[in-house]
Chain A
Amino acid sequence: MGRSQRADPAGLAGSARALTQQRPLGDRIFQALALAAGLLVLAILVLIAVATTSQSTSWFSHEGITGIFTTTWDPAHNKFGVLTFLYGTVVTAVIAVILSVPVSVAIALLLTEVLSYRWARPIVYVIDLLAVVPSVVWGLWGLIVFAPWAQRTIYAPVAGAVKGVPILGNLFGPGTGGVVSGPSFFTAGVILAFMITPIVTSLSREVIATVPVIDREGAYALGATRWEMIRGVVFPHSQGGIVGAVLLGLGRAMGETIAAALVIGSIPAITSHLFSTGYNMPAVIVNQFGESSGVFRSALLGIGVLLFVLTIIVNLIARGIVARSMARQRGA
């Protein structure tokens, strides 16, 4: 969004003014409308931020900054610490990115480097189709089909095998009370990985497609194999763009709500065991808002504000990296 705003209204207006001093009425109306549309988006964003922040002030004053960053979330005793949810958000998003990125980049390379356009096109359609599956459908599929299956055929055997092994046992061993749960951090991460794969794939594909043909041909001319060409030309050229795509996927994974709420297990806990139940920020908001009141409600809105800030930061970093790598490519 930041990039497009910088690009259109000011630039167009400036160039138009240089050509004719007094532009026709229709042109000026169009300019005003376009500017209003652009500003509207900004205004809505600011209003949302202001409204939710003002609604969450009683949480901030009730808990104080030290109270907010504690692990106790206990509405019955008016304790609203956010750390367990923050932890869950980060863990599930990181799992999603780790699972999704290799697959996404591999698909992007398949589409740009391996297949001809004729065969790549239907695959692109299918992947874009993945992006339009509603998140509640992902969540229900995860809850009803994937979680019980994964618990039986993957989690339980893996947990049994790595039990007691130093690091692996801490990550994939059975959690508190020997429990290996279907709905868990890991299940949420897997579902989120499915959901962010289309966006990471299509952005990576676009970045990879910008690699100049002359560079590729040069690499081939020097006798490089296809893999050597990808490693020597495509990756260095599109590194920044792919990192940006990954961060955009990360932002999406952190904010995804319904699917996560259905499959994360909804028991707040900070644990290294990925096969045990957890909670994340969007899930707690959607689960608990309906029956909340007073400081409880304010705390949920406050979590929304924190999530908003977190995703904005991740998105800004991602945009920055993408923009910089694009500029470098244009320069190259």
Chain B
Amino acid sequence: MQPRGRKQVTIVGGIAALAVAVSLSACSSSPSHPSGASSPSAAALSGTLNGSGSTFQTTFQQAAISQFKTVQPGMTVNYGGGGSGKGRSDLASGVVNFAGSDSPIPSTDASLFAGKTILYFPVVIGPITMSYNLQGVSNLKLDPTVIANIFQGNITSWNNPAITALNPGVSLPSTPITLAVRSDSSGTTANFSLFLQTAEPSAWKLGSSSTISWPHSARAAQGNSGVAQVIKSTPGAIGYVDYADAKASGLTYASVKNSSGNFIAPSTAGASASAAGVTVNPDLTFHAVWGSGAQAYPITYQSWVLVNATQPSANDAKMLQAYIGYLLGDGQKLLPSLNYAALPASIDQMAKAQLSKIKG
């Protein structure tokens, strides 16, 4: 199904594309106008774009794709999940036009992209909650040290002095702690472990990766919703769950101490604040965890759309500019209702300015 789409792309004529080129270059030269910048106005494009990768992006991509239909009725955009690793290898082998990825291309995969320039477009950020199941405890506070010790199996019961010290006045039971983790490799795991490695480099020994060698007593489940299910059904459980799924499952989540020393509950605003407080590299890679800022929620996670800077045809380039431009423009307005966080304005503008680097 995907290869067929690519054929259609090359067949499409160029007049419409030319018109869009004009309107888009006008847009990218005026970054001071964030929300309107993405509408490629009257010029209609037609063809198909295929993407795959990050499952974290799937809900956003699906919502954006259906809204994008009203902007560009002639274009068909498909997004299949499959995981960031799949997205990147699909992009490397030319199966898709764009990939969704929760982490930059790892050095071990650099050889796949030898000779190609890959552009990173951050499109979405979101908090990862520390969701837990403790009867009668609704405002738990945790800091990175305690979280690291819980997830390494050093703290095994809820009334451990390290936890009670952070929660004065809260009566914590002696219930044993059950860890709920992901059984599938996941960008959520990668970014959660990256948070612990960044915030607590000395205490955290398990490293950062899409798969972590958890303590044997952990309960593993498939996907964010699977972990949420384990937490919900297991008294004393704690796990890392993407904000959208934690809310959808009605879980209770902890406030986490940020780099300024404040305990912040997960929220879309807190995630945006964390991303606004991190250093962004020139290629627009960055890690949104542990951002500075008094209101920053520290376990924040980002995801990019990856494309080749050089496209096989001018129309492919125009379509990608139109779609990614939409994700960075009006698409951002869809995010809060999906319980994802919008990009901070600074990063959004840098991403929009990069659109013109996609060349046909």
Considering only residues 175-191 of chain A, those with a C-beta below 8 Å from chain B are 176-177, 179, 181
A290/B212 in contact, CB under 8 A: no
Asked if residues A291 and B106 are in contact (CB atoms below 8 Å), the reply is no
Contact A76 B218 (CB under 8 A): no
How far is it, in angstroms, between the C-alpha of A262 and the C-alpha of B184 when the chains are bound?
10
- Is residue B220 contacting chain A, with contact meaning CB distance below 8 A? yes
Contact A266 B208 (CB under 8 A): no
**Is B185 within 8 A of A290, CB to CB?**
yes
**Min C-beta distance of A28 to chain B, whole Å:** 36
Complex CA–CA separation, A160 to B109 (angstroms): 49
Say whether A293 contacts B183, CB under 8 Å: no
A76-B85 CB under 8 A given contacts A288-B185, A289-B185, A294-B106: no
Additional A-B contacts beyond A75-B210, A291-B186 (8; CB < 8 A): A75-B185, A267-B219, A268-B213, A277-B216, A277-B220, A288-B210, A293-B88, A296-B209
A6: interface (CB < 8 Å): no
Q: Which residues of B contact A262 (CB under 8 A)?
A: 222
Is there a chain B Cβ closer than 8 Å to A73's Cβ? yes
Cα separation A133 to B184 with both chains bound (whole Å): 24
Q: Is A5 an interface residue (CB 8 A)?
A: no
Q: Which of B106, B184, B187 has the most CB of A within 10 A?
A: B184
Contacts of A181 in B (CB 8 A): 219
Q: Which residues of B contact A266 (CB under 8 A)?
A: 183, 220-221
For B76-90 the 0/1 string (1 means CB < 8 A from A) is 000000111110110
Contacting B85 at CB < 8 Å: which of A73, A74, A292?
Answer: A292
A268 surroundings in chain B (CB, below 8 A): 213
Q: A58: nearest residue on chain B (CB-CB)?
A: B108
Chain B at the A interface: SS class: loop
**Could you list which residues of chain B lie within 8 angstroms of chain A, going by C-beta atoms?**
55, 82-86, 88-89, 106-109, 156, 176, 183-187, 190, 193, 206-214, 216-222
A176 to chain B, nearest CB (A): 5
Decide: B219 and A76 in contact? CB cutoff 8 A. Answer: no
Does A297 sit at the interface, judged by CB under 8 A? Answer: yes
* Contacting residues, chain B, for A295 (C-beta < 8 A): 108
Q: How far is the CB of B203 from chain A (nearest CB, A)?
A: 15
Query: Nearest 6 pairs between A and B by C-beta?
Result: A294-B108, A290-B83, A76-B207, A266-B183, A76-B209, A291-B210
Q: Mark A104-145, 1 if CB is under 8 A from B, else 0.
A: 000000000000000000000000000000000000000000
The reply to whether the CB of A287 lies closer than 8 angstroms to some CB of chain B is yes
* Bound complex: CA A157 to CA B119 (Å): 57
* A132 nearest CB across to chain B (Å): 24
- Report the bound CA distance from A86 to B316 in whole Å: 46
Question: Given A262-B222, A292-B210, A293-B85, are A176 and B183 neighbors across the interface (CB < 8 Å)?
Answer: no
Which residues of chain A have C-beta atoms less than 8 A from B185's C-beta? 75, 287-292
Give Cα A76 to B190, complex, Å.
9
Name A76's contact: one of B108, B109, B156, B208 (CB within 8 Å): B208
Residues of A near B217 (CB, < 8 A) are 176-177, 179
State whether the Cβ of A198 lies closer than 8 Å to any Cβ in chain B.
no
Interfacial chain B residues near A77, Cβ < 8 Å: 207, 213
Q: Across the interface, do B216 and A176 meet the contact criterion of CB distance under 8 Å? A: yes
Q: Mark A277-309, 1 if CB is under 8 A from B, else 0.
A: 100000000011111111111000000000000
A265 close to chain B: CB less than 8 A: yes
**What's the nearest-Cβ distance from chain A to residue B73, in Å?**
32
Partner of A291, one of B156, B187, B207, B221: B187
Expressed in whole angstroms, the Cα–Cα distance for A76 and B85 within the complex equals 15
A130 to B187, CA, bound (A): 37
Q: Of A72, A267, A288, which one neighbours B218 at CB under 8 angstroms?
A: A267
What are 15 of the A-B contact pairs (CB < 8 Å)? A76-B213, A176-B217, A177-B156, A179-B217, A261-B222, A262-B222, A265-B183, A271-B216, A289-B83, A290-B83, A290-B86, A290-B184, A291-B211, A292-B211, A297-B85
| Whole-angstrom CA separation of A181 from B230 in the bound complex | 12
B358 to chain A, nearest CB (A): 24
Bound together, the chains give a CA A294 to CA B212 distance in angstroms of 16
| Structural contact, A76 and B212, CB atoms closer than 8 A | yes
Contacts of B208 in A (CB 8 A): 76
Bound state CA distance, A77 and B221, in angstroms? 22
Q: Are A291 and B190 interface neighbours, CB within 8 A?
A: yes
The answer for the CA separation of A181 and B82 in the assembled complex, in Å, is: 28
Q: Judge whether B216 and A73 touch: CB under 8 Å.
A: no
* Interface presence of A314 (CB below 8 A): no
Using A75-B209, A76-B206, A76-B207 as known contacts, say yes or no to A290 and B220 having CB atoms under 8 A apart. no
User: Hey, which chain B residues are within 8 Å of A326, CB to CB?
Assistant: none
Which chain B residue has the least Cβ–Cβ distance from A271? Answer: B216
Taken together as a complex, chains A and B put the C-alpha atoms of A195 and B174 apart, in Å, by 42
**Is B213 within 8 A of A290, CB to CB?**
no
Contacts of B212 in A (CB 8 A): 74-76
Q: Measured between alpha carbons, how far is A145 from B187 in the docked complex, in Å?
A: 29
- A87 CB, min distance to chain B CBs, angstroms: 13
Residue in chain A with minimal CB distance to B220 = A266
* Nearest CB of A to B118, in Å: 14
- Supposing A76-B208, A77-B207, A266-B183 touch, asked if A290 and B82 sit within 8 A by C-beta, the answer is yes
Cα(A271)–Cα(B216), bound, Å: 10
For residue A144, give the distance in angstroms from its CB to the closest CB of chain B.
9
Q: Are A265 and B220 in contact (CB under 8 A)?
A: yes
Q: Mark A62-78 against chain B: 1 for CB-CB distance below 8 A, else 0.
A: 00000000001111110
Q: Which residue of A lies closest to B206 (CB)?
A: A76
Given A75-B209, A76-B211, A76-B212, A290–B85 Cβ distance below 8 Å?
Answer: yes
Chain B residues near A291: list those with CB within 8 A: 83-85, 184-187, 190, 210-211
Determine if A269 is an interface residue (Cβ-Cβ < 8 Å). yes
- Return chain B residues, CB-CB under 8 Å to A75: 185, 209-213
Q: Specify which of A72, A277, A292, A293 is in contact with B219 (CB 8 Å cutoff).
A: A277
- A265, A267, A277: residue with the most chain B Cβ atoms closer than 10 Å: A267
Contacts of A276 in B (CB 8 A): 216
- What CA separation (Å) do A97 and B183 show in the bound complex? 26
Per the bound structure, the CA–CA distance linking A262 and B190 in Å amounts to 21
Measured in the bound complex, the distance between the Cα atoms of B83 and A77 in whole Å is 21
User: What residues on A are CB-neighbors of B156 within 8 Å?
Assistant: 177
Q: A73, A271, A289: which contacts B213 (Cβ < 8 A)?
A: A73
Task: Output the least CB separation between A167 and chain B (Å).
Answer: 22
Residue of A76, A271, A288 contacting most chain B CB atoms (<10 Å)? A76
